[in-house]
Amino acid sequence: MSVIEPMADLDEQMLLAAARRGDKAALESLLLRYQPRVYRFGMKMCGNPEDAKDILQETLFAMVRGMRDFRGAASLSTWLYTIARSFCIKRRRRSRFAPAEPQSLDAAAEASAAVADPRPGPEEDVAGRQLEAALARAIAALKPMYREVLVLRDIEGLSASQVAEVLDIGVDAVKSRLHRARLTVRHALLPYLEVPEGEAAPDSLQRCPDVLTLFSRHLEGEISADLCARMERHLEACGHCRGACESLKRTLSLCRSAPTPQVPEPVQESVRQSLRALLTSEHAL
């Protein structure tokens, strides 16, 4: 695959149409555009650079082979994450006797943090790396069914309906898993978030509701305007619940601001050579 700049000035639908016609430059632009995201997904789901490389390569291969048959019933990102997830599942099945926890998550978090720019000061840099490593550990500790929902929704930015399509489950199931995953990750990050806890609501008020689940549901449009207003009134009176919601906000902000990683150059070169061979073979476009 030749090294070219992504065609950022072309709409994705135009690129798709050109790629389906056999335009290799358009196909390469799409490959370059999605390569970092697929690699990040593989890293988050497997926690192993070698597995992430294989998932990236197999997903891009499938994209090349299936491009002419792709008709846009789903978005391109949904299609690619569906493919990548299938390879993640196969990888886990082949590695079922391996350790339950992914390896080198701290190293992966440090590598991601090193990409960030501008560079913070030394103390901020250390704190930032510790927080990213803690987030990576918290996500890795989730069961796969919860991890994939959190990664797709809060890191990769898919809508709940798109996540449901990737996972082939209902939207309600996606949201149920998502709320649980968010709260679990938030709990793991509490020692690192430095969010002060205010005073609890006065005894005259009702017992504190489950504000964390309510807040997560609010973000997904699941609670009524009346319930939202009651929740806001409670937060005004209860510093403890305000602090809890703030810690969940911080957690989700960390997920959503996770940098799209630079795929390591050796991985890029390996994938580039394999794709070049595929594109020039008799079965290429």
What whole-number distance in Å separates Cα of residue 72 and Cα of residue 75? 6
Percent over 70 (pLDDT), the chain: 79
Domain definitions of the chain by residue range: 11-101+262-285
pLDDT over 60 at 49, yes or no? yes
Taking every pair of C-alpha atoms in the chain, what is the biggest distance, in angstroms?
77
What whole-number distance in Å separates Cα of residue 282 and Cα of residue 263? 28
What whole-number distance in Å separates Cα of residue 129 and Cα of residue 17? 42
| Mean pLDDT of the 182-201 span | 83
* Range list of H helices, the chain: 12-20, 24-46, 49-66, 76-94, 105-115, 122-141, 144-150, 160-167, 171-193, 211-219, 225-237, 239-256, 265-280
Considering the domain delimited by 11-101+262-285, tell me its CATH architecture: Orthogonal Bundle (1.10)
| Mean pLDDT of the 174-189 span | 97
> Tens digit of pLDDT for each residue in 219-263?
999 999 999 999 999 999 899 899 999 999 999 999 999 877 788
Q: How confident is the model at residue 130 (pLDDT cuts 50, 70, 90)?
A: confident
> Tens digit of pLDDT for each residue in 69-123?
777 667 889 999 999 999 999 887 765 434 444 444 344 444 444 334 444 555 5
Task: Find tokens 């996770």 and name the residue.
Answer: 258
What whole-number distance in Å separates Cα of residue 117 and Cα of residue 104? 23
Residues shown for the chain: 285
More confident residue, 194 or 102: 194
pLDDT over 50 at 204, yes or no? no
